Amino acid sequence: MTDSQAAAPTALDPRPALASAIVDTLVHRIGKDAQAARPHDWLAATILTLRNEIIERWMESTKAAHAAGAKRVYYLSLEFLIGRLLRDALSNLRHNDEVAAALASLGVDLAAIEEIEPDAALGNGGLGRLAACFMESLASLDLPAYGYGIRYVNGMFRQRLDDGWQVELPENWLAHGNPWEFERRESAYFVGFGGEVTATTSGQVHWSPIEAVEAVAVDTPMVGWRGKRVNTLRLWNARAFDPIKLDRFNAGDFEGALAGQMRAETLTRVLYPNDSTPAGQELRLRQEYFFSSASIQDIVRRHLQYFGDIRTLPEKAAIQLNDTHPAVAVAELMRLLTDFHELSFDEAWEITRATFGYTNHTLLPEALESWPLPLFERLLPRHMQIVYAINARLLREASKVDGIDGNAIAAISLIDEGGERRVRMANLAFAGSHSVNGVAALHTELMKKTVFADLHRLYPDRINNKTNGITPRRWLQQCNPGLTGLLVEAIGEDFKDDAARLTALAPFANDSSFRERFAMVKRSNKVTLSTYIKDSMGLTLDPDAIFDVQIKRIHEYKRQLLGIVEAVALYDQIRSHPERNWTPRVKLFAGKAASSYHTAKLVIKLANDVAKRINADPAVGDLLKVAFVPNYNVSLAEKIIPAADLSEQISTAGMEASGTGNMKFALNGALTIGTLDGANIEIKDHVGDDNIFIFGLTADEVAEKRASGYRGRQVIEGSRELAQAVNAIASGVFSPDDPDRYKGLMDGLYEHDWFMLAADFDAYAAAQREVDAKFGDTAAWGRSAVINVANMGWFSSDRTIGEYAKQIWGVM
C-alpha cells in the first residue's frame, strides 16, 4: 500500500492516518484484525509501524557517515541493559501524543501496551545500563557508533521471592518474537576454538581450530534524541556451520546430528548473572572470545571495505572495551593484523594501541578477571602466543624504567605467576590501549594508587577519568513526565536539548509556589508507586511518609545490611519511645543477588523477615514500613525512582567505582544519604553540602582501619543502639522459625566486618535522624530537592560521551 493510500482518511474510514497505518500493519504483518487483536498484537503493530520511520533515519545515518568517511566508535560490551524500547523510541521521535491518540481512537491504551513490552535485560546492573545510556547518548550527539555484544536468548533471570528467599526463574524476552531486531545473515563470521598452531617454512603462522561456530549479526536500531541519528546495536548469535549433520541423521543418530547445533547455541544462550565478580567458567571465556572475535572481524571488514588500507584503522575506528570482558579483542586484532594482513609485530602493536581504549569499572581485587593459563592456552592457542609476545615487549620496556623493580615487573606482567599461572585481562587491556579510564574521580585516583600503580608508573599519561552519566531522556523525561512538565513550565524546553540548562531552575528553589507544585508531582508519583506495590505485594503505603529507597544489585560492599540493621534499630526506638515526633518512613529495597552468592541471598531473606515483623506490628503502624520489591529491573527502576524522597548510596568508601543510580535519584529530586564514595563525591560537589547527607569513613580511613587490624566487636559493644539491633537479629527475633538463621551473618560483623558496617553505623543513624528533621521542614526539604534537580545536568551521559569523544576517540 502506498503512503497516500494508507494516509487518506475516507468517508468510510474516519480514522486519522496513523491509526489506519497501525491497523494496516496489524492486518498485513500480524495477521489479525482489530476485533481479534490481543494487547501483544497491538504492541507489535505499533512498534512495526513506528519502525518504518526509524529504519529510514537509520539508513540516512549510515549513508551520511559513509559519505563523510567518518571515524566510527565501537563500544564492545558483554552487557547492554536496554530495558523497554517503545516508550524510548516514541519519546525520542516526539510521537508520544500522536500515537497515544491514534491508539485511543482504536480503543487501545498506549500506556497499557507499553507496560507489556518485555524488558531487554541483557545485563546485570550498572555496567550494562551504562552501556545502554551510552548508546542513546552517542545517537543523540550524532556520533556514528556501533555497540557490539551478545544476543542472549535468556537475559538476567527473573527473581521470585518464596517465603522471602530469592528464587531464580529463566527470563524469556524473545517469547513473543522481537519486532526491534533484524538478522543480518550476510554479516556472519567464523569463530574458532582450540586446535593447534603451526608455522610454515616461510615463517607464516597457521592456527587450525578444532571447533568452530558461526557468529551471525542481529541489529537493533538505537534512536537518539529528536531522532537526529539512529545507530546500530549489533548483537551476535551463535550458529553451527552445519546445523544438521545429514549423514548422521540418516543413520539414525538424531542426537549426534544436532549436537553441533546445541553446542553452538549454548554459547549465546544465557547471560552470566554475576555482577562485579568474575564467573570463571570456560563457557564465559568462550562467550568473551566469540563476541570479541566476531566484532573485530566485522570492524576490520568494514574498514577495508570503506577505506582499503588496514594501516589507517586508528584514524577511522575507535574501539572502547567496557571493562575487561572484551579484553581478548586486543589479542584478536593483533592476530588479524599479523597473521592475515602480514604486518610486523611492531606495526600491528602500534595500530592496536592507537585503536583501543579501556574502561575499568572496579578495583575489588577479587573482581578482576584472570584466566587459568592452561584453559586460555587450550581454547586460544594462537592468542596465548600473542599474549606472550606482548608480555615480552611490555616487560622489556618496563625494565628500562627507573624505579621499576622485580616486584613492579611481577605486577605489570600479563601473567600472574603467584600460584597457579593466570592471564590477567586488566593488564592485557591496559597494555593494549592508548587510554585507560576510571568512571568517577575518586575511582580513577585509586586506580593510580592501587591496582594499576606499577602500570601507571610505566605509562603515566594513560590513566584518565570519565565520570559516568545517565541519559536524561529515559531517566527524567520518560520516567517522570510530571516533573518534566513542571520543568518546562518553569524554565522552558531548553534543558531537553542540553541538560546543563537545568541550572536555570536554581532560582525556583526559593519560590514557595513552585516548591508546592514540585511536591505535588512527587506525591503523585508516590501514589502511583504505592498503587503498584499494593497491587503486586498487597502492602499499603502512606504516600506522605518519606520514601527511603535502596535499589541496586545485592552486594556486601553496597551494604544493604547497613540499611536493614538501621531499620531494626529505628523499629526498636519507635517502640521504646512512641511518644516522640517520628517522621513516618517507608523503606524500600529491591535488587537481585548472583545465584551463587549465599550471603547476598541471606540479606534478601533478612530484609523480608524484618519487613514481615515490622509491617505486622500495630505498635509502629504507619510510622515504619519495610518492603522488598521483587524482580528489580530497568522498568521497575523507572517506576520507583520518580517516587523516591531519599536515595541510599551507602557503600563502604573506596569500593563503589561510581554508581549511576545515585545520579538518577538526584535528577528526580530525591536527596542522597551517602558515603564519600564513587560519584557521590561529585554529586556532593555539584549540589552542595547542605543538600546531601554525607556520613561515615572516607576511603583513606577505611584503608587505615583495615591496615590496623580493625574488628567490629569493640564498636558494636560501644554502641547501644547497634548492639541491640545486631543481637536481636542474631538471636532470632526476626526468624522465630529458625532462630539461628542470621547468627553467622551477625558473627561476621563482630569478627571481621570487612565492610565497616559497625564502624559507620552511628554516623549513619545520626544522618538518618537529620533526614527525619529536614523532611519535617517541608520548605527546607523542597528547596534542597529543587537544588538537586537544578545541578544534576552535568551527570547527563551526553557530557560523559562528549568527553570520551573529544579526549579518547577523537571524533568531536
Is 367 a binding residue for ligand GPW by CB under 6 A? The answer is: yes
380 neighbors 328 (Cβ within 8 angstroms): yes
Minimum distance, C-beta of residue 603 to ligand GPW, in the bound complex (Å): 17
| CA pair distance 349, 340, nearest whole angstrom | 14
Is 439 a binding residue for ligand GPW by CB under 6 A? The answer is: yes
Active site annotation includes 552 = yes
Q: Which of 227, 314, 678, 782 binds ligand GPW (CB under 6 A)?
A: 678
Total number of residues that touch ligand GPW (CB under 6 A):
19
Is 683 a binding residue for ligand GPW by CB under 6 A? The answer is: no
Closest C-alpha among 246, 244, 215, 218 to residue 233: 218
Is 666 a binding residue for ligand GPW by CB under 6 A? The answer is: no
Active site annotation includes 660 = yes
Is 657 a binding residue for ligand GPW by CB under 6 A? The answer is: yes
Q: Which three cell numbers stand for residue 563?
A: 540499611
Minimum distance, C-beta of residue 259 to ligand GPW, in the bound complex (Å): 32
Q: Report the chain's terminal Cα–Cα distance, integer Å.
A: 42
Active site annotation includes 245 = no
- Element holding 774 (H helix, E strand): helix 757-776
Judged by CB, which is closer to ligand GPW: 227, or 659? 659
Q: At what angle do helices 720-730 and 560-576 cross, to 10 degrees?
A: 100
Q: Which three cell numbers stand for residue 332?
A: 584478536
Is 798 a binding residue for ligand GPW by CB under 6 A? The answer is: no
Using the contact rule CB under 6 A, the part of the chain among 39-47, 65-73, 123-131, 729-737 near ligand GPW is 123-131
Q: Which of 124, 297, 530, 608 binds ligand GPW (CB under 6 A)?
A: 124
Closest C-alpha among 87, 54, 82 to residue 480: 87
Minimum distance, C-beta of residue 281 to ligand GPW, in the bound complex (Å): 15
Judged by CB, which is closer to ligand GPW: 268, or 660? 660
| Residue spans of alpha helices (H) in 540-633 | 560-576, 598-615
Is 139 a binding residue for ligand GPW by CB under 6 A? The answer is: no
Q: Which of 293, 480, 658, 675 binds ligand GPW (CB under 6 A)?
A: 658
181 neighbors 219 (Cβ within 8 angstroms): yes
Q: Which of 23, 49, 118, 125 binds ligand GPW (CB under 6 A)?
A: 125
φ, ψ dihedrals at 98, nearest 5°: -60, -50
Is 320 a binding residue for ligand GPW by CB under 6 A? The answer is: no
Give 237's strand partners: 216
441 neighbors 657 (Cβ within 8 angstroms): no
| CA pair distance 616, 625, nearest whole angstrom | 9
| CA pair distance 45, 37, nearest whole angstrom | 10
Minimum distance, C-beta of residue 241 to ligand GPW, in the bound complex (Å): 32
Is 468 a binding residue for ligand GPW by CB under 6 A? The answer is: yes
427 neighbors 455 (Cβ within 8 angstroms): yes
Judged by CB, which is closer to ligand GPW: 123, or 314? 123
424, 456, 496, 552: the catalytic one is 552
| CA pair distance 219, 667, nearest whole angstrom | 31
Is 469 a binding residue for ligand GPW by CB under 6 A? The answer is: no
Those residues whose C-beta lies under 8 Å from the C-beta of residue 160, and which sit 6 or more positions away, are 166, 167, 169, 630, 631
Active site annotation includes 553 = yes
Chain centroid to Cα 611, Å, comes to 28
Judged by CB, which is closer to ligand GPW: 209, or 674? 674
φ, ψ dihedrals at 538, nearest 5°: 75, 15
Quick count: other Cβ atoms within 10 Å of Cβ 555? 24
Using the contact rule CB under 6 A, the part of the chain among 118-126, 182-190, 499-507, 521-529 near ligand GPW is 118-126
Those residues whose C-beta lies under 8 Å from the C-beta of residue 402, and which sit 6 or more positions away, are none
| CA pair distance 336, 382, nearest whole angstrom | 11
Is 659 a binding residue for ligand GPW by CB under 6 A? The answer is: yes
Spell out, one character per residue from 48 to 87, where the chain touches ligand GPW: x when CB under 6 A holds, - when not: ----------------------------------------
| CA pair distance 454, 273, nearest whole angstrom | 32
| CA pair distance 808, 138, nearest whole angstrom | 14
Using the contact rule CB under 6 A, the part of the chain among 229-237, 568-576, 656-664, 666-674 near ligand GPW is 656-664
Those residues whose C-beta lies under 8 Å from the C-beta of residue 487, and which sit 6 or more positions away, are 495, 502, 505, 789
558, 585, 601, 625: the catalytic one is 558
Q: Which of 298, 323, 377, 638 binds ligand GPW (CB under 6 A)?
A: 323
Is 566 a binding residue for ligand GPW by CB under 6 A? The answer is: no
Side-chain-side CA neighbours of 276 within 13 Å: the count stands at 23
Judged by CB, which is closer to ligand GPW: 46, or 658? 658
**DSSP assigned state of 45:** H
659 neighbors 679 (Cβ within 8 angstroms): yes
Grid cell 501514589 — which residue? 527
Sign of the torsion formed by the C-alpha atoms of 393, 396, 400 and 405: positive
Active site annotation includes 66 = no
Q: Which of 21, 43, 127, 541 binds ligand GPW (CB under 6 A)?
A: 127
Q: Which three cell numbers stand for residue 240?
A: 553451527
Is 465 a binding residue for ligand GPW by CB under 6 A? The answer is: no
Footprint of ligand GPW on 260-289 (CB under 6 A): 275-276
Minimum distance, C-beta of residue 395 to ligand GPW, in the bound complex (Å): 26
Minimum distance, C-beta of residue 450 to ligand GPW, in the bound complex (Å): 14
Give 680's strand partners: none
Judged by CB, which is closer to ligand GPW: 209, or 661? 661
Judged by CB, which is closer to ligand GPW: 61, or 675? 675
Using the contact rule CB under 6 A, the part of the chain among 1-9, 407-415, 655-663, 740-748 near ligand GPW is 655-663
Grid cell 549465599 — which residue? 598
Q: What is the 3-state secondary structure of 184-219?
A: EEEEEEEEEECCEEEECCCCCEEEECCEEEEEEEEE
Judged by CB, which is closer to ligand GPW: 83, or 179? 83
Is 429 a binding residue for ligand GPW by CB under 6 A? The answer is: no
Minimum distance, C-beta of residue 554 to ligand GPW, in the bound complex (Å): 12
234, 303, 335, 664: the catalytic one is 664
Is 803 a binding residue for ligand GPW by CB under 6 A? The answer is: no
Minimum distance, C-beta of residue 279 to ligand GPW, in the bound complex (Å): 10
Is 130 a binding residue for ligand GPW by CB under 6 A? The answer is: yes
Residue 174: what residue type? L
> Helix, strand, or coil here: 149?
strand
Minimum distance, C-beta of residue 129 to ligand GPW, in the bound complex (Å): 8
84, 129, 335, 361: the catalytic one is 361
Is 674 a binding residue for ligand GPW by CB under 6 A? The answer is: no
Is 676 a binding residue for ligand GPW by CB under 6 A? The answer is: no
Q: Which of 57, 87, 158, 361 binds ligand GPW (CB under 6 A)?
A: 361
| CA pair distance 223, 210, nearest whole angstrom | 41
Quick count: other Cβ atoms within 10 Å of Cβ 200? 8
475 neighbors 644 (Cβ within 8 angstroms): no
Active site annotation includes 601 = no
Q: Which of 660, 768, 796, 797 binds ligand GPW (CB under 6 A)?
A: 660
Is 730 a binding residue for ligand GPW by CB under 6 A? The answer is: no
Minimum distance, C-beta of residue 333 to ligand GPW, in the bound complex (Å): 21
For residues 453, 457, 462 and 465, what is the CA-based torsion angle, rounded to 10 degrees? 40
Q: Which residues are catalytic?
A: 361, 552-553, 558, 660, 664
The residue ranges that bind ligand GPW (CB under 6 A) are 124-127, 130, 275-276, 323, 361-362, 367, 439, 468, 656-660, 678
